[in-house]
Amino acid sequence: MDVLSDVSETALITLRARAIETRKEEPLIHDDMGLELLARLEPLLPADTRQRVMGRKLSPALTRYIALRARKYDSYARSFIKENADGLVVSLGCGFDTRYWRVSEEPWRYVEIDLPEVIAAKKKVLADAAPFPMIGRSVLEERWVEEIRSIQAEKVLFLAEGLFMYLPKPEVVRVFDRLSESFSRSHIVFEVVNERYTKGLWKKVVESKMRRSGGTEAGSSYQFGVRDAKDVEAYGKHIKVVEEWSYYEEKDLRPRVLALFRNLKMMTRTQWTVKATIG
C-alpha cells in the first residue's frame, strides 16, 4: 500500500482508539467492524507507520474522548434516519470510520467522502463489504457538492467529525456557503475548537500535546476556530445553530471530577460539537 499522507494518519489514530475502547470489558462503543478493518489494514501499512503510529500507546483520555464523540455522532445519524426514512447522511472526512455498521443493522442511505488515498485504502481493505458510495475527494473541492446534489438536495445530514479545525478558515467558510446554496431542509453536525487555540502560545501548546499523544505530525495544528458557535451563521444563507454538545455532558465522562466543570464555558467550549440547520 502506498505510504499514507500525514492527514491520513489521524484516521489511523481514530480507528485505533475505537478499537481499544471496543476491546474493553465495559466498552463505551461497540465497533466490531472497526476491529476487522484495523486487522486488515495494519499489515499493509509501511513499517515506519506501524511502529510510530500504530505501536504507540494512546492515552486513556484520548481513546475515551474519541469513543464518546463517535457514539454521539452515531446517535445524530440514528435519530436523523429515524425521522427521515428517505434522508441521506454524508460523512465528510470520514477516514477509516465504520459508522454504517454501528448505526443500524438495516440498510440506510449513507455516503463517505475523504482524500483519494484514504478512500483507495479503505476500498482495498474492505473489498465489497461496504454497501454505500465512497467519494475520493478533498472536502475543499467543488465537485463533490454537485455529486451529492445529484443524489439528493434536501433532507441531508452532513457529519464533520474532527475535520474543520485542521482547514484554513476561508476554506471552511466556503464549504458552509456552498452547502447553504446547494441544499435545503438539511443539517450539519461538526466539531469546532475555540479560536484561541488557532494562534499564539495556545496553538503551540496544542501542537506539542498532539505530537506527544499521537506519535505523528498529522493534525497537530489547528487552523480554524470560532469564538461562539453562532459565528457560523454568517458563513452562508439560512444557516442556524440549533444545538451544541460537549463531552463534559456525558454520563460516562472520566475522571468523574470533570463533571464539576460541565457548566463552565471555558472548559466546555474548548473543543465541542455544533448542530445547525441548512436551508
Domains and CATH numbers, the chain: 6-278 (3.40.50.150)
CA distance 145 to 257: 43
Helix (H) or strand (E) segment spanning residue 60: helix 60-83
Q: What is the pLDDT of residue 51?
A: 82
Of 138-147, 163-172, 252-261, the one with minimum mean pLDDT is: 252-261
CA end-to-end distance (rounded Å), the chain: 41
CA dihedral 256, 258, 259, 261 (to 10 degrees): 160
Output the average pLDDT for the chain.
91
List, edge to edge, every strand of the sheet that includes 239-245: 134-136, 110-114, 88-92, 156-160, 186-193, 271-278, 239-245
- State yes or no: pLDDT of 185 exceeds 90: yes
Q: What is the pLDDT of residue 49?
A: 82
The three cell numbers of residue 272 are 465541542
Q: Which residues is 224 bridged to in the sheet?
A: none
Q: What is the pLDDT of residue 205?
A: 76
Average pLDDT, integer, range 200-214 = 72
DSSP 65-97: HHHHHHHHHHHHHHHHHHH-TT-EEEEET-TT-
Average pLDDT, integer, range 118-135 = 92
- State yes or no: pLDDT of 217 exceeds 60: no
- State yes or no: pLDDT of 5 exceeds 70: no
Average pLDDT, integer, range 103-107 = 96
CA distance 157 to 140: 18
Higher pLDDT: 164 or 61? It is 164
Average pLDDT, integer, range 51-65 = 87
Average pLDDT, integer, range 44-49 = 83
Q: What is the pLDDT of residue 3?
A: 46
Higher pLDDT: 49 or 220? It is 49
CA distance 227 to 56: 34
Q: Are strands 110-114 and 88-92 parallel, antiparallel or unpaired?
A: parallel
- State yes or no: pLDDT of 278 exceeds 60: yes
CA distance 119 to 4: 11
Q: What is the pLDDT of residue 100?
A: 98
Please state, for a pLDDT cut of 90, what percent of the chain lies above it.
Answer: 73
Closest CA to 175 of 154, 162, 190, 185: 190
- State yes or no: pLDDT of 15 exceeds 90: yes
